[in-house]
Structure 1
Amino acid sequence: MDVELRHLRAFASVARHRSFSRAAEELLITQPALSRTIAQLEGQLSVRLLDRSSRHVELTDTGAEFLVQAERVLATMDQALAVVGQRVALRLGFSWLLPDPWAQRTISRFEESTGASVALTRTDDPLQALRRRTVDIALVRGEFDAPKEARITHLYDEPRIAVCSERCDLTRFGHLDWADVRYWPLVVNTVSGTTGPWSWPVDQRPTQIIETANYDEWLETVAANRGIGIVPEVAQRRTQHPAVRYLPLTDAPPIPVSLVHLPDAQRTLIRRFLDAAVSHGAE
């Protein structure tokens, strides 16, 4: 007999709800498709499992006995899938500080709905890790050059904030305007930084740029009063350094936050992760 799990899940849902319409909603299929699936099951078994009327659905005696066995089969299969799911991981690459509370809510929802886990991979260049297939999906901030075949999902925009040494003269002003950044030496993370000379028109760019190769170098260079930095506002909540101060940055354009993946990598898991990510994108 060509009885499939989809037949059993459809039958169990109708039996549980005593309704084709409610079962179709639970299974995310149309009611006609559900009716065809049940008819296929009854045809394969050559027995009537459900008594249908215009008002209600009831199990036949045979249907009630079959339901007990079908639920056992489904429970066993769900347990087997859960064991496998615990060994399946989606590798999420990021350069620094995952946005909160988006990351925690997205990962929790994804893991609860799939049984798979998210492996967090910190790397200076998430896009390079994506190209090398050491991550399955990358969280990237700012403007970037993605692989030609990559798929990009924009999540939301983060505000910017200025950061400087506690010994910097800027601390006396209490804030910094985006147009005035050009008058200060700007410390830039050239690998994964979200703000650099490219963030302004050519005639408005800072004249002095101090380049660093990662976030730690960037932070310590700012702390050493070599120049100021500009980062997503999340840094003020998550990065505490006794020698730096954060200042409001007025009129600054926001920083786009995106997820990037390659179309041939873990399609089902990535689609489920994107569903969870987008639903929490604005939170």
Structure 2
Amino acid sequence: MDLQIRHLEAFVALCEEGTFTRAAARVHVSQPSLSRTIQELERVLDCVLIDRSARTPGPTASGELFLRRSRAILADMTELQAEMRAQTQVRVGFAWLLPNDWFAATRERYEQLGGQLKLLRSDNPTADLRDGAVDVAVVRNVGPVSGSISWRPIGAEKRVLAVSARSSLARTPGLRWADLAHHPLVINTESGTTTPDCWPDSAPGRETVTCRNLDEWIELIAADRGIGAVPALAAHRAPHPEVVYRELPDIPDSTLYLGWRRTPEPSRSTRRFLDAAVELLDPDPSTS
């Protein structure tokens, strides 16, 4: 048997605690198990480290030397572990426009814990999550349900209507969401929030124009190929000179989701990020 970290931890605990009972409790083993570990250690080193003749067990002269070196090694191991964990990056996939307040608070909280985040924009972060290219994903469209991925709703986002500046809808007074059920619709199939199902009475055979990302979607709206709806933060963070964003009284909210792989199980760093993210959710969170 070779020298192992558990030998060092058991020996240091015994020397510092002064009894086998307290030392065993400190390293979370039974007292007989701790005694066997100390005996193994002495056999591995071929020397007596503990003076068992005294009322309170303590280190021999050889044990004193081993105690000093063991403490230094364990301190170095703790420091190395902390340094390596700090190098670990949790990869966060997103399609567009991360939510403001919640994500900023989550990032700050996670970095306070010593973690690092790497943001990766993707047309389809759900597929990247499934393939292992990212560790977690923040999405508004989860796509086909997969048993290997867990999804947690993290907020409801207010949405706004998006229309071409050339469209009469940009200036129509008293416009409501229900009035738009027959208009051509631009759909971002990968990461969008709006489909004909968002209207309970959407016209059968309604004209739709599809695209795969936000940039294409905005240009199609600007070209007056159809209407669309996006979270309200797009009005400030994705402006376009040929696109008008309008608030409507009856436009439905969209849901924001946080996803992670269930299999294989998340790494310790990913789990810490998820804990920080969920901890900062309000009972009725708003991410708009």
> What TM-score comes out, normalization by structure 2 length?
0.71
Secondary structure, in 3 states, of the residue corresponding to 1:249? coil
Q: Provide the residue aligned with 2:222 in structure 1.
A: 223
RMSD, aligned α-carbons? 3.5
The alpha-carbon deviation at position 153 of structure 1 amounts to 1.4
> What residue is the counterpart of 1:276 in the other structure?
276
User: How far, CA to CA, are the matches of 2:175 and 2:278 in structure 1?
Assistant: 32
Aligned to 1:161: 160
SS in 2 for 1:98: coil
SS of 1:163's partner is strand
| Paired letter, 2:9 | E
Identity fraction in percent: 34
Match status 1:36 vs 2:25: yes
Alignment coverage as a number of residue pairs:
242
Whether contact under 8 Å (1:162, 1:176) holds in the other structure is no
Q: Are 1:4 and 2:9 matched, yes or no? A: yes
Q: What residue in structure 2 maps to residue 177 of structure 1?
A: 176
Aligned residue for 2:82, secondary structure, equals helix
Q: Secondary structure at the match of 2:120?
A: strand
Residue matched to 2:88 = 88
Contact 2:9 2:27 in 1 (8 A): no
- How does 1:92-131 map onto structure 2 within 5 Å? 92-113=92-113, 115-131=114-130
Q: Does the 8 Å contact 1:174/1:247 carry over to 2? A: no
Look at both structures and tell me which one has the larger radius of gyration over its CA atoms: 2
Find the aligned partners of 2:221 and 2:23 in 1 and give their Cα distance.
Answer: 62
Please give the TM-score of this superposition, normalised by the length of structure 1: 0.72
CA distance in 2, matches of 1:84, 1:254: 42
Q: Distance in 2 between matches of 1:261 and 1:48?
A: 50
Show structure 2 runs of 5+ residues with no match.
Answer: 1-5, 39-49, 59-67
CA distance in 2, matches of 1:272, 1:217: 35
Q: CA deviation at 1:199?
A: 2.5
* C-alpha contact 2:8 2:70 (8 A) present in aligned 1: no
Change (3 A) 1:243 1:231: same
Q: Quote the Cα distance in structure 2 between the aligned partners of 1:39 and 1:184.
A: 67
**Using the alignment, how far apart are the partners of 1:35 and 1:174 within structure 2?**
76
Deviations 1:29-49 (A, max 9, x none): xxxx99932897998788599
Q: 1:168 to 1:203 in 2, by over 3 A?
A: closer
Query: Which residue of structure 1 lines up, in the alignment, with residue 45 of structure 2?
Result: none
CA distance in 2, matches of 1:175, 1:119: 44
- Closer, same or farther: CA 37–86 of 1 in aligned 2, 3 Å: closer
Distance in 2 between residues matched to 1:83 and 1:100, nearest whole Å: 30
Q: Is the 8 A contact 1:136 1:265 kept in 2?
A: no
* Distance in 2 (alpha carbons) for counterparts of 1:118 and 1:253: 32
Structure-2 separation of matches of 1:161 and 1:35: 62
Instruction: Tell me how far 1:218 sits from its aligned partner.
Output: 0.5
Gaps of 5+ in 1: 13-32, 50-67
CA contact (8 A) 1:163 1:244 kept: yes
